Structure 1
Amino acid sequence: MSVIDSKVANIHELALEHSAQGERYESRSVRIGSLLGAKDLGYSYDVVPPGKRSCPFHSHRGEEEMFFIVRGRGSLRYGNETRAIRAGDVICCPTGGPETAHQIVNDSDEELAYLSVSTMMPVEVCEYPDSGKIGAYAGELRHMTRPGDAVDYWVGEA
């Protein structure tokens, strides 16, 4: 069965893309939702090697996320807490500020694989507490800044 011809995909048959950034970030992943024609939800499958994470610690102001741990174990950073996670766990990450910031870390000696599901909003703002950045995303617009770099609303206006 071809992914293009169906609304069903098997995670074991998907072509995963490798990505890495620095010493801490690495994963093999695929965005499944767009392959299947999803409209309002985005879903991805990520496989993270030991000692790595797939993305920075962040929170969402517009999109809610859910993660399902398919195999392996690791840690969930959530707000000010860190807790152990393992295969079978379902994780809820609602919208909010730094108190809902989250990151899945593979601190084990085996691969960690998970599905993520998120609401797909046309506009999103993410905060990155570890680096003090704010990201604004809307269609092709992707802008990363820091709160101290802000300019007044009227600057440059005649």
Structure 2
Amino acid sequence: MAEIRKPVINPAELELEHWQQGAFFESRDASFGAKLGLKDLAIGYGEVPSGKSGCPFHNHHIEEELFIILSGRGEYRFGPNRYPVKPGDVLGAPSGGPETAHHLINTGPEPLKYLSISANAKAEIVEYPDSGKFLAKSRETPGAKPVFRFVGRKDSEVDYWDGEPGI
């Protein structure tokens, strides 16, 4: 079991990591489920600036996600639809194919602040419908750093027996 440092955490007291990728993706965020002693739930806090998104449009094949909007306004892109979101809204992202792909976009003037809660599976496949990529990863234990992680595209697929000795 993860060491419980404190059974209560206020997101306003977290040390946030700031990152930016290109012109559209930017966030200040922190993961803190392990700090609460949780091993099967991942919990994060994010602050996304106006006009930005904290992640690419994606779907999970194994893990489910839940988002709780704390402040700000945005748009929840889910499958082929877009939904306006505001403080107090709870957003579901079930596992599945591209029909469950999702991401949040800050459409308001102030930071969009939210909690994200997800299953913390030992293995996961994530698809990125906008770019045609996928991510495969596995961990020895839930919440640990991946022991295997690969990002690629299906067009690099090979036959199951490709490269095997004696074939």
Offset, 1:9: 0.2
Q: Distance in 2 between matches of 1:5 and 1:117?
A: 19
Please, which runs of 5 or more residues in structure 2 have no aligned partner? 140-146
1:148 aligns with 2:155: yes
Please, which runs of 5 or more residues in structure 1 have no aligned partner? none
- Provide Cα deviations, 1:95-127, integer angstroms capped at 9, x if missing partner: 001000000000211110000000010000000
Offset, 1:141: 1.1
Task: State the partner residue of 2:63.
Answer: 63
For residue 55 of structure 1, give the secondary structure of its aligned residue in structure 2. Answer: coil
For residue 99 of structure 1, give the secondary structure of its aligned residue in structure 2. Answer: helix
For residue 44 of structure 2, give the secondary structure of its aligned residue in structure 1. Answer: strand
Name the Cα RMSD after superposition: 0.9
- Provide Cα deviations, 1:114-154, integer angstroms capped at 9, x if missing partner: 00000010000000000000110112211011111100100
What's the TM-score, normalizing by structure 1? Answer: 0.96
Q: Distance in 2 between matches of 1:110 and 1:23?
A: 17
1:108 aligns with 2:115: no
Task: State the partner residue of 2:53.
Answer: 53
1:27 aligns with 2:34: no
For residue 34 of structure 2, give the secondary structure of its aligned residue in structure 1. Answer: helix
Q: Within 5 A, what are the aligned runs for 1:70-109?
A: 70-109=70-109
Q: Distance in 2 between matches of 1:144 and 1:5?
A: 33
Counterpart amino acid of residue 25 in structure 1: F
